[in-house]
Chain A
Amino acid sequence: MTTDIGLWGVPLAILGGAIRVSTPFIFVSIGEALTERSGRVNLGLEGTLVFGAMSGYAVAYHSNSAWVGLLAAAFFGLIFGLVHGYICKLPKVNDIAIGIALMIFGSGLAFFFGKPYIQPVAPHLPAISLGWWSDVPQVQAALRVNVLFIAGIALALAASWMLRNTKVGLTIRVAGDSADAARALGIDVNRVRLWSTAAGGALAGIGGAYLSLYYPGSWNEGISSGQGLMAVALVIFARWSPINCAYASLLFGGAGALGPALQSVGVTQGYYLFYAAPYVLTLGLLIATSSTTRAMTSAPGELSITK
């Protein structure tokens, strides 16, 4: 049963889409923000995300608990992060090349182990209905919020607070901004980066588990369709701030819902173009906020593609 709410459906669908679609972006981009703040780029998060989706789904199916699946996804993500961080510690290793290798490796491994789990149905992560006050089913649908979304927002605030107010946070920023200064302070730069990458991997694993255990809510090989890579790009757009990462993810999720929403209210002409809205929006905002003459003050100084 649906109530016809006309054009109001569009902003509602965008809001619902923003909340549903943004969650994996929030986790992956905050994870990548932590890694990049420590001075490394981990492009392998796409592979970590896919493997997290697969392993989370498989473990949830066998244990019959979505939460155990989530933990497993985080654990495997951590392992992927540790592998990336450990290999990058070796001399003359380029973090971007390793990231690309791990991206392909992670996806391949997930497809290999994931074949038997395409059919079975695993338990889902719970959602909280924040739309109880409304009789309109579309409103209720839009405001069914998964617990991971709330955790993601809390994570953004916590990560931002940590970077400013704790020794760990300042240490990560020092390691990412000037390895020389970090060594002068007696900080083991490689260790900081190893664990920052591991934490980033664990968060990406959680993002993957959200995909397979909530939305879309099943495991298949096309589940990520590049979301892990987009999340890495979002970090640059968010200027390495965890809170901005959450905003950027919401914006991206909302824009992604524009196409289906317009289609559902009967706009048939060129709605495929609206499917490209998130990419166009990101590109436009990146161009608008960049400058050839101003220094990008917030970029961690140690990030580099040549090492």
Chain B
Amino acid sequence: MNHVLEKTPHPPARALSLETLGMTMRFGNFTALRDVSIKVPAGSFHVLLGENGAGKSTLVKCIMGFYQPTAGQLTVDGREVEVAHPRAAHDLGLGMVYQHFTLVPSLTAAENLVISRADVPAKINWAREREALSAFMANMPFQVPLDVPVGRLAAGEKQKLELLKQLYLGRKFLILDEPTSVLTPSEADELLGMVRGLTTAGDLTCLMISHKFREVTAFADEVSVLRRGEYAGGGKVSDLSTADMAAMMIGEKELVRSARRVETSGNVVLEMKGAKAPDRSGFKTIEIGDLKVKAGEIVGIAGISGNGQMELMQMLAGQRPLDAGEMRVKDTPYTATRSEAQKFNVRYLPEEPLKNACAPKMTVAENIFFRDFDAKSGKRQFWLDGRRMMAEAARLVGEYKVKTASLASPIASLSGGNVQRAVLARELTGEVDLLVIANPCFGLDFSAVAEIRARIMAARNSGTAVLLISEDLDEILELSDRILVMSEGQIAFETPAATAEIGEIGKYMAGHH
């Protein structure tokens, strides 16, 4: 059936339908996908739900030609096709927006769009391209600056540009891999509303991978749920409740509930006053006028990525020297050296822990032992105590349910959730007075998220001061006692979580106030 693969010079003009039949994918002995059949009619908005490792990405990679399925068929617009490589999928009009960005950082948005086209002329006539681009952008519901290198755009803008790129290339069936994880609620609504508009008009068919039930119920027509590589259920969104979908997703498993919030009151542990530092571009200043975190409280910092949260984390961790102002921990000036952090029991859980809090090629045991390798109950140690390291690591790996082949495996071989658990195990062991966390649940599945949030809440309940920097507003709302909103390098808004209003927070996140 290869004859349908001849190149289509022009992308199809209308939305495409797509169907998989008995799709199966085996990697050696491991079956990642077993007999999955889903049907996505033309012009529909279909959501693929499932936990991490449920087989969602395997399925879409089979559709896009990254993998060749072991068995099963793919039908596009009623014709059976074989997609040998991603190029072939593109020629059929299939496109995908990935979870990670595929844009080239040092090229501008305009250059990224133009070079992604298959028919770029040898000499690019920028005047004409620019005209075509502005005509294209005029029909789009949102704008992205075209002349700034993409590396300087915030994550939300990059995600918009990824979507714009697919539309610019004339794709008629779009796979979106968690497209809203970096957007504010109102941005997400805008983006999905626009996709919804395109599908209703019959210009586009959309298959979206998502974890957010709110988006499913608000925008999708139909849903398919995968669990452990198999089709677990699905149907029209209007016929299903959120509880039904969650049940299909998780199966019979008990979720770790967030620990209950207990009443606490404590002294100020962390204080920042007039702290100023340049941002990563060097052109703007991050200024934290007045920030206090008390013992036994979680202060959540909400904001769209790129508004200075990363720099704030670096200031707190001593990676970004202050130009002015000061940080105080327990009323003593604090510059985040290792000895100060040990003395005041300050712990960190930065975002992307594999990159920022681990030595990826060192073993799980070594990584877990980073806090203690040179000290034992306050006394310096010269020789590394291998036996104590193994015992400690084994205990923590068991306690925090880190799934690893062995304690001697490199930590980079663990999945994202397990790296997060291992780092959390290291950071929460012993006495912790101040915990600084950034995006702890980014890219983790349902049950891992619940468990990690429960650990954070438990730390709070036992009197730890927690500063939580997160781009996930749901997470901030669930965990925080007080919510601060960061916008353009400053704290723009503060509200107690109990009386917080999402609309208002969103407004400040977007910078309109």
Name A's B-contacting residues (CB within 8 A). 165-168, 170-171, 173-174, 177-178, 180-182, 184-186, 291-295, 297-298, 300-301
Contact = CB atoms under 8 A, between A and B. Distances in A.
Given A297-B149, A297-B152, A177 B107 contact: yes
Residue from B103, B106, B278 whose CB has the most chain A CB atoms within 10 Å: B106
A182 B115 CA distance: 10
Interface stretch (B121-129, B130-138, B257-265, B379-387): B121-129
B92 to A, nearest CB: 15
A181 to B, nearest CB: 5
A135 B105 CA distance: 54
Contacts of A186: 87, 118
B281 A166 contact: no
Given A174-B115, A293-B282, A184 B124 contact: no
15 contacts: A170-B107, A170-B111, A170-B120, A170-B124, A173-B106, A174-B115, A177-B105, A181-B104, A185-B115, A186-B87, A293-B280, A293-B321, A295-B280, A297-B149, A298-B106
Nearest to B122: A167
A103 to B, nearest CB: 28
Given A170-B111, A186-B87, A165 B106 contact: no
Contacts of B191: none
Given A165-B126, A186-B87, A294 B107 contact: no
A88 B102 CA distance: 25
Contacts of A177: 104-107
Contacts of A174: 104, 107, 115
Nearest to B319: A293
B104 A178 contact: yes
B195 interface: no
Contact of B124 (A167, A178, A180): A167
A165 B282 contact: no
Nearest to B103: A181
Given A170-B114, A170-B115, A181 B102 contact: yes
B70 interface: no
Given A167-B121, A173-B107, A174-B107, 9 more contacts: A167-B124, A173-B104, A173-B106, A177-B104, A177-B107, A178-B102, A181-B103, A291-B282, A295-B281
Contacts of B277: 293
Interface in B258-287: 277-278, 280-282
B115 A294 contact: no
Contact of B105 (A167, A178, A294): A178
B455 interface: no
Nearest to B100: A180
B71 to A, nearest CB: 27
Contacts of B332: none
Interface string B319-354: 011000000000000000000000000000000000
A186 B90 CA distance: 11
Nearest to B116: A185
In the complex, which of the residues A165, A168, A185, A295 has the most CB atoms of chain B within 10 Å of its own CB atom? A185
B281 A297 contact: yes
Contact of B278 (A166, A171, A294): A294
B235 interface: no
B251 interface: no
A226 B229 CA distance: 60
Given A165-B126, A170-B124, A294 B280 contact: yes
Contacts of B122: 166-168
Interface in B142-164: 149, 151-152
A130 B401 CA distance: 78
Interface centre among B107, B278, B320 (most CB of A within 10 A): B107
A14 to B, nearest CB: 33
Q: Chain A CB within 10 Å — which of B122, B123, B277 has the most?
A: B123
Contacts of B12: none
B197 interface: no
A225 to B, nearest CB: 34
A190 to B, nearest CB: 17
Contacts of A184: 86, 102
A301 B280 contact: no
